[in-house]
Structure formats: C-alpha cells, structure tokens
Amino acid sequence: MFRPRAKDWVADRNDDGPTNPLVEDHFAVVAVRSHYAAAGSLVKFIRVGTLDAPDLLPPSIHIFTASKQPWVVPPEAMPAVADYFDHQQYWPSESLARLKVLLPLIEAYRVGKGSGSPSI
C-alpha cells in the first residue's frame, strides 16, 4: 500500500490558475489522490485506477471526453460529456444532499482564503 510522505505532495496547476495539492506515487508517476482547489482539504479525489480493485468503483459518467483518445469508447449506456458536467443533471439525489451539506463549509473555507463563494 502506498503511504504518502510529506515530500510526495506536489502542486499541480489547473487551467483556472489555483493549484491542486496532490500526492504522487513515485513508482508509477501518477497522482494517487488530490484535493479540489476551491475547497482545500474538504474535498478529496482518489484516482480509482490506482486502487487494488478499481473494478469495484466503476464511473457513473465520463467527463472531458473532448480530449480522450479515439480508442477510448465509453459505454453507450453511460453518460459522457465533452467537458465538465452539471451536478444537478447527473448526480444522484444522495450525492446532491451531501453537496448541500458541504457547500457552507466550502464557502467558509474560500471566504477565509479570500476567494469568495464556491464554484462547484
């Protein structure tokens, strides 16, 4: 099992400018987990493909398909969008309920950092 050390944390720039702190696995040279920049450590992403059993967590939507390789063909029964997606349209009600609880915490984080209100 990969256990991140302090030196494994790196800053990854996204298109918007803020950095996304992420942990790299130096053997595979892939980000294992990261934080959503607008929410600090409140929202974490795990790269499912880095897990021992990634098949247990299949995707519910394919995003950023505009930049996918032509040989990557998402299943027809699964939603696929060219860029990011509208949470209200695609997320299950349970996920939307969790987001509703989380948004005030994200807003407090962003106000404390001088970034204004959340944009997720």
* Helix or strand holding residue 97 (H, E): helix 93-112
CA separation for the pair 21, 12 (Å, rounded): 6
Q: What average pLDDT score do residues 28-53 get?
A: 79
Which pLDDT score is estimated for 64? 93
Which pLDDT score is estimated for 90? 93
Q: What average pLDDT score do residues 85-94 get?
A: 92
- Residue 7: exposed, middle, or buried by beta-carbon count in 10 A (0-12, 13-18, 19+)? exposed
Q: What average pLDDT score do residues 69-78 get?
A: 93
Domain range summary for the chain, segments of one domain joined by +: 1-54, 59-120
Higher pLDDT, 46 or 72: 72
- Say if CB 33 and CB 24 are below 8 A apart: no
